[in-house]
Structure 1
Amino acid sequence: MADYIVEVLGIKNITHNVHAFRIEKPRGFTYIPGQATDLSIVKDTWQKEKRPFTFTSLQQEDTLEFTIKSYTDHDGVTNQLTYIKPGDRLEISDAWGAIEFKGEGTFLAGGAGVTPFIAIFRDLYVKKQLGSNKLFFSNRTARDIILKDEFEKILGPNFINLISQEKTTEFYHGRIDKAFLKEHIKNFEQAFYVCGPDNFTSSILDALKELGADPDALVFEK
């Protein structure tokens, strides 16, 4: 797998702790919406600290984009990324990953786990192929919702938010669990796309299987 040194071109605030990083795109670089790369910061010893991040740009664009949540409670890679400025350099690998669009279905995301779905929905929107795809997005608070306005524009009523740590009249209060899935999904023969923290992903996958979903129709990062 090849590695590429690329320059940061721009940074945009998305939420209080999420930023979109626009970077150089190596010549001939290709990826599929939903795929990721191993990324590190070309600075001191951080170049050896590679972490997986998902492309949120589209293949036809001239640059690459990553939408990244920063965890500032410890000095890890995402915290270091809060100090990055245009002109700084990153190292990325060739694209990899098991998450890609395999047919119309339901997307289930927890927090920053929504990032693989950003490029997928952007791609479907550009191609006018959104169909009845639906996104259930779970967050702790309303201010944590990533790209709320964009998802509302793309998906309309098929963008459903769940908030677990505050009550609001605008969004469903609770979590995505077996009871929620049973109540809100009637067809378990469709494709399901799942991404989030490890415990979120494993619990959702188990619940879907128990409710009759085909294991071969479950798309997640293995």
Structure 2
Amino acid sequence: MGHKLAISKIENVTHDVRQFTFEKPDGFEFTPGQAAEVGIDRDGWRDAGHPFTFTSLPDWDQLQFTIKIYPEHDGLTEQIGTLKEGDSFIVGDPWGTIEYKGKGTFIAGGAGVTPFIAILRMLRDRGELSGHRLIFANKTEADIILRNEFDAMPGLEVIHVLSKEDKDGFEHGRIDKQMLQRLVGSTLEKFYVCGPDEMVESINGALKEMGADPDGLVFEE
């Protein structure tokens, strides 16, 4: 049985991404990078079981999800897009295979950045961001989730990649082996990869070809 949690705050992050904040139940514990199976308190959707990553930190008084809304899809994210403050999520127990394992590069595609939000916030609060890199791929500049927050993180190298716009200050195209060789340099570090399945598979393959330790690749399995 999941926890029924009322939404206390909804904020727009981009044109199609919203941040949902709600009260954390007593004793609820998770680690940065973990997700939970989520439904909403509506008939037919309480057991929807879609995974979303916590973007809050474990020591916060609230829980938070940052969710991309797909109004054209006939599914849970379309329903979530119609929620208002006071409506409720049904949140299961935390799980997940993405966790922080040491200094390295985070590579994300679109909403795939969400497991990294809490990890990077944790490192920021500890003053341990120096030596980390975020390579963040999106279609357009308007699609970049929490851009201002990432760009302001002290010590974090942020590289934005746009596939559908060619603009000054941004990498253009898709993240492939050639781009990684140019941006990463040494592969003697951890690599955290999250995004569409095809992207994750392609990037992991390129990193292995470049000499990255397969055991140093962290992704949702």
Partner of 2:138: 139
- The separation in 2 between residues aligned to 1:40 and 1:67, in whole angstroms, is 15
| Alpha-carbon contact 1:109-1:194 (below 8 Å) kept | yes
Regions of 4+ moved over 4 Å: none
Alignment deviations for residues 13-51 of structure 1 (CA, whole Å, 9 cap, x no partner):
000000000012111000000110000011010112110
| Equivalent in the alignment of 1:173 | 172
Q: Name the structure 1 match of 2:72.
A: 73
Per-residue CA deviations over 1:166-222 (Å, capped at 9, x if unaligned) read 111131111111111112211111100000011111111111111111010000000
1:118 equivalent in structure 2: 117
Q: Could you tell me which residue of structure 2 aligns to residue 23 of structure 1?
A: 22
- Give the superposition deviation at 1:156: 6.0
**Contact residue 132 and residue 156 of structure 2 kept, 8 A:** no
In the alignment, is the contact (CA less than 8 A) between 1:194 and 1:218 conserved in 2? Answer: yes
Match of 1:201 in 2: 200
Tell me which residue corresponds to 2:214.
Answer: 215
Partners of 1:106 and 1:190 within 8 A in 2: yes
Structure 2 residue runs without a partner (length 5+): none
Label 1:125 to 1:157 Cα distance change in 2 as closer, same or farther (>3 A).
closer
What CA distance in whole angstroms lies between the structure 1 residues aligned with 2:195 and 2:70?
15
Q: Provide the TM-score with structure 1 as the length reference.
A: 0.97
Q: What is the CA–CA distance in structure 2 between the aligned matches of 1:201 and 1:7, rounded to whole Å?
A: 34
Other structure's SS at 1:45 match: coil
Is residue 2:152 matched to residue 1:153? yes
Q: Distance in 2 between matches of 1:94 and 1:140?
A: 33
Letter in 2 for 1:114: V
Who is 1:104 aligned against? 103
Task: Report percent identity of matched pairs.
Answer: 49
Unaligned stretches of 5+ residues in structure 1 = none
Please give the alpha-carbon distance, in whole angstroms, between the structure 1 residues aligned to 2:12 and 2:133: 26
Displacement after TM superposition at 1:129 (Å): 1.1
1:54 aligned onto 2:53? yes
- How far apart, in 2, do the equivalents of 1:52 and 1:81 lie? 13
Aligned with 2:70: secondary structure?
coil
Aligned partner letter, 1:113: G
Question: Equivalent residue for 2:163?
Answer: 164
CA-based RMSD of the aligned residues comes to 1.1
Equivalent-residue separation in structure 2 for 1:100 and 1:186 (angstroms)? 23
Counterpart AA for 2:107: L
